[in-house]
Amino acid sequence: MSDSIDPQKLLDLIALKSRDRGVATMPDLHEACGLDVEAMYVLLGALVEAKRISIEGEYPFEQVRLLNL
Amino acid sequence: MIDYTQKIPNNVDLSGDKALQRALEHWQPAFLDWWSDTGPAASSALEVYLRTAVSVERDGWANFGYVRMPDYRWGIFLVPRDESRTVLFGDHKNEPAWQEVPGEYRSTLRRIIVTQGDTEPASVEQQRLLGATAPSMYDLRNIFQVNVEEGRHLWAMVYLLHRYFGRDGREEAESLLARRSGHADHPRILTAFNEETRHWLAFFMFAFFTDRDGKFQLASLAESAFDPLARTCRFMLTEEAHHLFVGESGIARAIQRTCEVMHAHNVSDPSQVRAFGVIDLETIQKFVNFHYSVTLDLYGSEVSSNAAMYYTTGLKGRFQEGKLADDHSLTGSDYPVQEVADGQIVVKQVSALTALNARLRDDYIREVQGGLDRWNRVPAKFEIPFRFMLPSIGFHRRIGKFSGHHITPDGRVVTEAEWTGRMRDWLPDASDHAYIESLMGRVVEPGKFANWIAPPVRGINGLPIEFEYVRFN
């Protein structure tokens, strides 16, 4: 479904998409996983809470950085 | 994995059913003729940096590369079968999901699939001319990505028609290529898919509002007892999710640019804002009002015996049926539905079974509101007091309980005279469209963007904004 994804898979995608520049963009992530916009924000919020990622920049130009690499 | 060595890429072992394979290979050139006739105009020679599905698994489904769109590998992709899947709802609850169509539901199910399938080519036809006014190469690539995937969604429905509905299904598949959006004699089935998409603001609105209706319909069908339909829709949803992102981010970038101009020049009056060649927020609100209200009509009548029948027979579930904690039969349950009584909008409890259209529409509204809340962060960060709002559920409705009533965006039932006098304050008129169209000059130099829309922070697949996403050769 487009409303859920294993958080680890999203973290793997963020790692893959941020490999060159250190950050992944929302378009990168959406094209790579087919997750709904709403579900993406919910999951990213949970990963921020868990201190696994940080979000830089403001909507609609957020960029996602992995933490504790 | 998807077999790309076949003439029609698929993961349904098409080569194991020669009659079906021949039938679909017979339909394939007709599809390509349709794409040539009604797909993106003047695009056949372009090389477009597109994403192609290589797997139905989410962790590895996308592959990027240049493709001439007529060479795009449209195929048939279903998520893998779960042998233990059972029906979640209705009279067949807990029975094994159906792998074939029960005879008693054959015509109803075919109609559902045809109606869904008809929307897929329709949107491609509606957007046919937009390449000529693309605000950037990035956006041009995005609309082409959306278009080829809507074409693939047509393939998804046509596969079901050919595979499970025999001669009737084959004839319906032919008809899907014969109807045309907006055609006087052979229109598409649903009204919203016969409206013209005149410019990119309308495209982004369509992708945000109307494609989202598609998502909710697909999500309901993804719960179907008819397992091949459910599995087809589940994969379609992953592609649809990106279309919604294209819509939301496109509008957000337009709002961003407008707010940048308003902030930099300290202007707020729409005419002053327009003088800088951007779309004033009031006009964007009018387009929100239009596209939202037209899309609400796609859910059909709030109270519907057909919707109840689809549910009890297991053909179509509720949004995220598996996450809902109730008896999944809905007998004896009520649901609140709004209607007009004594000159105002009131709430009435009706049978939850007959209110399934209203319920799905309410799920949709909650999600749309989330999108507006995100858009509203943009003027907020510029300290601009404007906020986008969804109009009343009864505003500008042609179908259902509000049809025939005149209801303002704030939910007041008014006379026809007041409605007519104020309509241009609430809905885009010819002058608004003309203004938007005046902004729509084509910008296709790599890295350049039209003045009315902000560029994204980075390009596609980690590439720079300046990347040549479309090669014109």
B1-25 average pLDDT score: 90
Res B1: pLDDT = 67
Residue whose entry in the numeric block shows the structure tokens 């087919």? A34
Do B69 and B39 meet the contact criterion of CB atoms below 8 Å apart? Answer: yes
Query: Which residue numbers of A have CB closer than 8 Å to B's CBs?
Result: 1-3, 5, 9, 12-13, 17, 20-21, 24-28, 30-38, 41, 57-61, 63
Shortest Cα distance, chain A CAs vs residue B62, angstroms: 6
pLDDT digits (tens, 9 = 90+) for B268-320: 999 999 999 999 999 999 999 999 999 999 999 999 999 999 999 999 999 99
Nearest chain B residue to A34 by CA distance is B238
Say what the pTM is. 0.96
Res B61: pLDDT = 64
Res A39: pLDDT = 93
Nearest chain B residue to A28 by CA distance is B461
Q: Which of B23-27, B205-209, B210-214, B460-464 has the lowest mean pLDDT?
A: B460-464
Interchain proximity B378–A28, CB inside 8 Å? no
Nearest chain B residue to A62 by CA distance is B457
**Average model confidence (pLDDT) for chain B?**
96
Bridge partners of B67, per DSSP, are B48
Nearest to B460 among A24, A31, A61 (CB): A31
pLDDT digits (tens, 9 = 90+) for B391-402: 999 999 999 999
Nearest to B241 among A20, A36, A63 (CB): A36
Res B52: pLDDT = 87
- Number of residue pairs across A and B with CB atoms under 8 Å? 91
Interchain proximity B456–A57, CB inside 8 Å? no
pLDDT digits (tens, 9 = 90+) for A2-56: 677 888 989 998 998 888 888 999 998 998 888 999 999 999 999 999 999 999 9
Nearest to B238 among A2, A17, A57 (CB): A2
| Greater pLDDT, A30 or B221 | B221
- Report in angstroms the alpha-carbon separations of A13 from A19, B49, B243, B249: 10, 20, 19, 20
Res A17: pLDDT = 87
Res A2: pLDDT = 63
Res A1: pLDDT = 46
